[in-house]
A and B are shown apart, each in its own frame.
Chain A
Amino acid sequence: MIRYLARRVVTMAVTLLIISALVFVIIKLPPGDFLTNQIAELRSQGEAASVAKAQFLMQQYGLDRPVWEQYLRWIGLWPNPEGAFNGLIQGNWGWSFEYDRPVREVVGDALWLTLVVNLAVVIFVHLVSIPIAIYSATRQYSIGDYVATFIGYIGLATPSFLLALVMLFYANRWFEVSIGGLYDSAYSGQPWSWEKIRSLLAHLVVPTLVIGLGGTAAMIRRMRANLLDELGKQYVVTARAKGLPPTRALLKYPFRMSLNPFIADIGNLLPHLVSGSVLVSLVLSLPTVGPILLAALKSQDQFLAGFILMFVAMLTVIGMLISDLLLAWLDPRIRLGGDGR
């Protein structure tokens, strides 16, 4: 077990390293960078002082150096002009040129608000879809199944940003509340207090619903199909023949079996939710990292974009590890596999 974990951590580190290289190369693919663009602009306006500052930054971050050296500096494997190693590995997330502030300050709250929103969505998706899927699968081709299926398809087919717009409009019209943002604008810039958290929870409802709807519909379909497969298995008949009441027989055996693909999916879920909710975040003006990432990529704010992408990659890799460990814990065939087969 310890050996396995150690091996996994090493592979994770290597994976992240490769991802960081890819991320950096892709960000640098378009010609030029934020500062050269800015310097050109400032020159045309004749602002010498600002140009000097930009040039200082350029040197400081080595934007005049070859790409590989910039990359190594960014992750902290190459000394900066002062001769110190100061990159991602050392915990320095870099400088945002666009905001003219350290990345850490720019993303600050957005990072964990993203996590909160996504966690809420994941919980919502599972809480809603699992009971509906069980209902649909055990009563296949009943009216309830058809209704669930129909609603599910609508959920799948509705673009979430459209739903967000519709909700925004009607919430304003009927309830005269603005559902944009994750807390009331009065609290922005304020330190966290109970009132602010309450406001956050109230504002979470609509984004969770909007972002989660598509996922819920998809999950109902997959869960239903998985369960139907399992319900036909012989061990279900064995459980019934034993005299188990139907609900217990269902939850203990086929339901547990049908969970495996979803646990295996946890790793994929997180990055998908981050990138999938960008549009909704824009529409609902949610202070999550999605819109920040979009803006950073557009303006070639390389360290900001790079950091957010690395953050998502990190989530993915950790998610994968968690799902693998969970799978091994839940499924003895994986834990003990290879023996006696």
Chain B
Amino acid sequence: MTSPLLSIRDLTVDFSTDTGSFRAVDGLSLDVPAGRTVALVGESGSGKSVTAQAILQILPKVARITGGAIRLQDPAGPPGGTDIAALKADSSRMQALRGGRIAMIFQEPMTSLSPLHTVGDQVTEALRLHADVSADAAKARAIEVFDRVGFPDPRRALVTYPFELSGGLRQRAMIAMALITKPALLIADEPTTALDVTTQAQILELMRELQAETGMAMLLITHDLGVVANMADDVVVLYRGRVMEAGSREEIFRRPGHPYLKALMRAVPRFHMAPGERLTPIREVKSAVLARKAGEPHRPDPAGPLLAIEGVRKSFTLRSGWFKGKVRTINAVNGVSLKLHPGRTLGLVGESGCGKTTLSKVVMRALRPDSGTVTFDDGSGRGPRDVFALKDRELKDFRRAVQFVFQDPFSSLNPRMTVYELLTEPLRIHGVGTSDERYERAKELLDMVGLDKGSLRRYPHAFSGGQRQRLGIARALALKPRVLLCDEPVSALDVSVQAQVLNLLKDLQASLGVSYLFVSHNLAVVDYIADTIAVMCRGYIVEEAPKAALFRNPAHPYTRALLAAVPEPDLDHPLDLKLLMSDRFSDPASWPEPYRLAGGEAGAMTEIEPGHFVRVAGPMLRQAA
């Protein structure tokens, strides 16, 4: 057996900061054989990314490799290999390896590319740094690579800026930049975490194909076991900088040994969960207040739905560019009707740009729809009232009753306010209670989301992503709302933390009777939390059904594509990547009959079984009539 391409032995990386030093990677050893994919799995803070940075010697300034060896046995390099750990970060040999023999792609395709330089410039730069080629030859090579990674117009890609591209195309540009030098090893640090499931599936398939073509090895860093199950040959599980378990994919998934790994696996929402089965987060949130509240009677519920959206339309006019002045109209929401019942969860699923955020803004009364109504019934006996006609006192009541949980736990909390100020701000704005009562309420809220009251005086930066998201939920609950609008509340979180937050939301619903409008692109997550699911594409609801019916009998081709795109941490349910390789499933004009909607046709929802609606085109309707 030949020696592996990359072999790491007893690697330790230490961080020394003002507040003391800590060991981010502690005696890590792993091998990446040539041409194979090794997945490095763990939660945030487990040292996965630091390991990748150590391999490339691009650690932050406060971090240092303090021990161990990183040996690269490059067939194109010197015989006997190179010990990267012994090289200086800015040495010319290290610079030649970086990007030349070992390339890296990152999680955030949005911020990983410079917005001021064209994609072509940034990609050809990578090649020209490592190979002695002319500018024209580099461009020709870049066009080839762009074509290979799936740019629709490779020649145009040369002069395109990153912000003109969608997230998926940006990540393809990153891949092109990494692969143009034909590296021996590709390090992919959470390459698909920031992407929609369908885009994720396409990028994963692309990476697999490219690996097969070039024979490069891949070190895949991820917290998503579903991705691991579909991509990796070998798996290394990391916890607090130490290897917990390592082995082939088969071993790891069929016979997980370490309790941490088992716990990680139980934390992922899956489609084949038994009804009522609960995810097991690694750290469960415990709350005394919630247990007490569970026994208390709920507020009176309205007879009908709490929130009813009827035929809402919203279009935006875009003026493209400073110098052009062209005007385009985009129909973000196209005649959407939905109902949210008290104490229930309505899941709204779709890819980015499908209009789900616009819709939730309309519900919040942050945007006025072009047509259609939103009515709200708080159960006080006054019946459903038009949200957009509310004034003064009634509007204030509505604002209290409908609250928002945001996607990004980092930017949604003001870093200059303490937790106490954050949690009591809604109360102060609405003039609820005395200062003592507000203090009591803040303590109660913290307890509900499983944080202790010592947190009240701390600032948001002192909390992890999951804890911040719980703070965001606590803040949303401060005014005892009837409805929480949750916009991708878990998509920025690790699986283990995701399970914790999902369970928390479920418990809160059981105890407090709040309703959720839960927006997400991940069907598996929505499946876990929602009662009814509406699938949205290009501003239309294409399918709406109770959860069980939707998964038993998904009718619409778009729903099927979304279902197929979720990677499951289960070797028996691999992704059907071929199915997802084209973008056609999100184009209404290329859906098969009878779902095809061409030329601005809206079609209509038909009921295929009780409570299960699918959007079909006009002619089909006439036949049915």
Which A positions have Cβ atoms within 8 angstroms of B?
A: 1, 3-4, 233-235, 237-246, 252-253, 256-257, 328, 330-341
- Measured CA separation A160–B125 after assembly (Å): 46
B99 at the interface (CB under 8 A from A): yes
B319 within 8 A of A: yes
Q: Is the interface of A mostly helix, strand, loop or mixed?
A: helix
CB of A213 to closest CB in B, whole Å:
31
B106, A234: Cβ atoms closer than 8 Å = yes
Q: Taking CB as reference atom, which chain A residue is nearest B319? A: A338
Asked if B103 and A339 make an inter-chain contact with CB atoms under 8 angstroms apart, the answer reads no
* A336 and B58 within 8 A (CB): no
What are the residues of chain B within 8 A of A246 when measuring CB–CB? Answer: 90
Which of B111-119, B220-228, B513-521 faces chain A?
B111-119
Query: For the complex, is B100 an interface residue (Cβ under 8 Å from A)?
Result: yes
Q: Is the CB of A337 within 8 A of B321?
A: yes
- Contact check, B325 vs A339: say whether CB atoms are below 8 A apart: no
- List B573-599 residues whose CB lies under 8 Å from chain A: none
Residues of A within 8 A of B216 (CB): none
A4, A238, A241, A332: the one contacting B115 at CB < 8 Å is: A332
Q: Determine which of B113, B130, B165, B321 lies in contact with A338 in the assembled complex, contact meaning CB atoms within 8 Å.
A: B321
* A243 pairs with B114, CB closer than 8 A: no
Q: Closest approach, in angstroms, between the C-beta of B511 and any C-beta of chain A?
A: 40
A-B contact list, 20 entries, CB within 8 Å? A1-B323, A3-B325, A234-B112, A235-B111, A237-B112, A240-B98, A241-B98, A241-B106, A242-B103, A243-B100, A243-B129, A244-B129, A257-B114, A331-B115, A331-B116, A332-B163, A333-B161, A333-B163, A339-B318, A339-B320
Residue in B99, B103, B108, B174 whose Cβ sees the most chain A Cβ within 10 Å: B99
Q: Which residues of B contact A328 (CB under 8 A)?
A: 322-323
On whether the beta carbons of B114 and A235 are closer than 8 Å, the reply is: yes
Are the C-beta atoms of B321 and A339 separated by less than 8 Å?
yes
Pick the 8 closest A-B CB pairs, nearest first. Answer: A243-B99, A242-B99, A243-B98, A234-B111, A241-B104, A332-B161, A340-B164, A235-B114
Q: Smallest Cβ distance from A108 to chain B, in angstroms?
A: 40
Q: In the complex, what residues of B have CB within 8 A of residue A338's CB? A: 318-322
In the complex, what distance in Å separates the CA atom of A56 from the CA atom of B484? Answer: 79
Interface string of B278-320 (1 = CB under 8 A from A): 0000000000000000000000000000000000000000111
Q: How large is the interface on B (under 10, 10 to 19, 20 to 34, 35 or more residues)?
A: 35 or more
Shortest beta-carbon distance from B394 to chain A in Å? 36
Residue of A nearest to B95 (CB): A243
User: Which of B98, B319, B323 contacts A242 (CB under 8 A)?
Assistant: B98
Q: Is B96 an interface residue (CB 8 A)?
A: yes
**Distance in angstroms between the alpha carbons of A240 and B318 in the assembled complex:** 36
Q: Are A336 and B161 in contact (CB under 8 A)?
A: yes
B448 at the interface (CB under 8 A from A): no
Report the minimal beta-carbon distance from B181 to chain A, rounded to whole angstroms: 8
Q: Is there contact, CB below 8 Å, between B164 and A339?
A: yes
Q: Complex formed: what's the CA distance from A240 to B112 in Å?
A: 11
Which residues does chain A contribute within 8 Å of B106, judged by CB atoms? 234, 237-238, 241
B126 within 8 A of A: yes
What B residues does A336 contact at CB under 8 A?
Answer: 161, 163-164, 321
Residues in chain A near residue B130, CB distance under 8 A: 243
Q: Contacts of B161 on A, CB cut-off 8 Å?
A: 332-333, 336
**B525 at interface, CB cutoff 8 A:** no
Central interface residue in A4, A241, A244, A331, by most chain B CB within 10 Å: A241
| A32 CB, nearest partner CB in chain B, Å | 49
With beta carbons under 8 angstroms apart, the residue of A233, A335, A340 that contacts B111 is A233
Contacts of B104 in A (CB 8 A): 238, 241
Report A-chain residues with C-beta under 8 Å of the C-beta of B320.
338-339
Which of A243, A245, A331, A339 has most B Cβ within 10 Å? A243
B102-141 contacts to A, CB under 8 A, are 103-104, 106, 108, 111-118, 125-126, 129-130
A337 touches B322 (CB 8 A): yes
A253/B325 in contact, CB under 8 A: no
Please encode chain B, from 151 to 175, with 1 for each CB lying within 8 Å of some chain A CB and 0 for all others. 0000000000101111000000010
User: Considering only CB atoms, which chain B residue lies closest to A1 in the complex?
Assistant: B323
Q: A238-B113, A240-B58, A244-B129 are in contact. Are A335 and B98 (CB under 8 A)?
A: no
B96 lies within 8 A of A243 (CB) = yes
Q: From residue B124, how far is it (CB to closest CB) to chain A in Å?
A: 11
Q: How far is A88 from B542 in the complex, measured between Cα atoms in Å?
A: 67
Q: Which residues on the A side are within 8 Å of B163 (C-beta)?
A: 332-333, 336, 340-341
List 12 additional A-B contacts (Cβ < 8 Å) besides A234-B106, A335-B323.
A1-B323, A3-B323, A235-B113, A241-B106, A242-B125, A243-B95, A243-B130, A252-B114, A328-B322, A331-B115, A336-B164, A340-B166
- For residue A257, which residues in chain B have a CB less than 8 angstroms away from its CB? 114-116
Q: Is B177's beta carbon under 8 Å from chain A?
A: yes
Give Cα distance in the complex from A333 to B103, angstroms.
28
Q: Quick one: which of B58, B130, B165 has the most chain A CB within 10 A?
A: B58
- Nearest residue (CB) in B for A238 is B112
Bound together, the chains give a CA A339 to CA B117 distance in angstroms of: 16
Does the CB pair B99–A335 fall under 8 Å? no
**Which chain A residues border B164 with CB–CB below 8 Å?**
336, 339-340
Bound: A237/B177 CA distance, A? 14
Docked pose: A173 CA to B49 CA in angstroms = 63
Contacts of A3 in B (CB 8 A): 323, 325
A339: B residues at CB distance < 8 A: 164, 318, 320-321
Q: How far is the CB of B41 from chain A (nearest CB, A)?
A: 22
| B97 at the A interface (CB under 8 A) | yes
Q: How far does the Cβ of A227 sit from chain B's closest Cβ, in whole Å?
A: 14
In the complex, what's the smallest C-beta–C-beta distance from B566 to chain A, in angstroms? 27
Contacts of B97 in A (CB 8 A): 243
Closest B-chain residue to A240, C-beta based? B58
Q: B335 to nearest A CB, angstroms?
A: 25
A240 to B322, CA, bound (A): 33
Check B98–A245 contact: CB distance below 8 A.
no
Complex alpha-carbon distance, A340 and B167, angstroms: 11
Asked if B56 is at the interface (CB within 8 A of a chain A CB), the reply is: yes
In Å, the complex CA distance between A241 and B90 comes to: 11
Residue in chain B with minimal CB distance to A330: B116
**Chain B residues with CB under 8 A of A235:** 111-115
- Give the residue of B58, B114, B126, B322 whose beta carbon is less than 8 angstroms from that of A335: B322
- Shortest Cβ distance from residue A301 to the other chain B in the assembled complex, whole angstroms: 43
- Of B58, B98, B115, B174, the residue contacting A333 (CB under 8 A) is B115
How far apart are A60's CB and chain B's nearest CB, in angstroms? Answer: 47
Q: In the docked arrangement, what's the CA distance between A36 and B29, Å?
A: 93
Contact across chains for A244 and B125 when beta carbons are under 8 A apart? yes
Q: List, in ascending order, chain B residues with CB within 8 A of A238's CB.
A: 104, 106, 112-114, 174, 177
Which residue of chain A lies nearest to B111 when distances are taken between CB atoms in the complex? A234
In the assembled complex, which residues on chain B have CB atoms less than 8 Å from the CB atom of A334?
Answer: 322
CB distance from B159 to the nearest CB of A (A): 10
Q: A308 → chain B, closest Cβ, in Å?
A: 34
Evaluate contact between A4 and B116: CB separation under 8 angstroms: no
For A252, list chain B residues within 8 Å (CB). 114, 117
Q: Which residues of A contact B115 (CB under 8 A)?
A: 235, 257, 331-333
Q: Which residues of A contact B112 (CB under 8 A)?
A: 234-235, 237-238
Contacting residues of chain B (56-105) with chain A, CB-CB under 8 angstroms = 56, 58, 90, 95-100, 103-104
Q: Are B323 and A4 in contact, CB atoms less than 8 angstroms apart?
A: yes
Query: Distance in Å from the Cβ of B549 to the closest Cβ of chain A?
Result: 37
Decide yes or no: A242 and B126 within 8 Å by CB, A237-B106, A333-B161, A336-B164 being known contacts.
yes
* Closest CB in chain A relative to B603 CB, distance in Å: 27
By the criterion CB–CB under 8 Å, are B114 and A253 in contact? yes
Residues of B within 8 A of A340 (CB): 163-166
**Which residues of the partner chain B approach A237 to less than 8 Å between Cβ atoms?**
58, 106, 112
B residues near A244, Cβ cutoff 8 Å: 95, 99, 125, 129
State in angstroms the CA–CA spacing of A3 and B326 once bound together. 13
Contact of B108 among A234, A253, A337 (CB under 8 A): A234
Contact between chains at B99 and A241 (CB < 8 Å): yes
